[in-house]
Amino acid sequence: MLDKRVCRTTVVGVTLTLLAGCAASSGIEEDSIGEYFARDLPGISADPMMSPVDNPILEARGLHNPPPTLIRRALLAQHERWSGTPYRLGGSTFRGVDCSALVQNVFNDTFRFDLPRTTEEQVHAGLQVDPDALRPGDLVFFRPPGVYRHVGIYVGNGRFLHASTSQGVMISNLDNRYWQRHFWQARRTLEPTQLAQRLGDSGEG
């Protein structure tokens, strides 16, 4: 009988020791994982397959968000700032603004980048890009009926910021039949990464 009690006590003791060991080891493992992701990983930039220049993780860390996200947020903030401003040909203030003046103001305020004043001049800025490859910050141009050309800034998700002649500063959908019919071309003044860096310099975002 005594032997059975001793054996049972020994088994229970061993089991508790094993359980305690698992719990302790689990806690250490969780702490180690947390510390692992909280610190800079040694040697990640020294990986021969990935240099610091083309490492997207380091780039995203430096900018806090991917460039398109930063640019989109900045442009949406500009929309809130200009929303309600009526269209006025030749205007460049919150009392009234035309399409090219809005684009010029937004680029100057947000990216510290000087664009020409008129649509005819802006259409020569940067490089032409395929409509299917649009990125936030690209300029989109249209040829509506009449003598004037129209310009806006692509903000992502198929939408662009512009000064509409009928509704003032607003965001419209490129898939709208009217804009599809009169689409002219798109141009990229700077790559998204460069725009995002200028955004950081300007204190936006």
Q: Which residues are catalytic?
A: 99, 150, 162
- Distance of alpha carbon 143 from the chain centroid: 28
- Distance of alpha carbon 52 from the chain centroid: 20
At residue 90, what are phi and psi to the nearest 5 degrees? 90, -10
86, two tokens: 């009526």
| CA separation for the pair 31, 109 (Å, rounded) | 45
| CA separation for the pair 108, 64 (Å, rounded) | 22
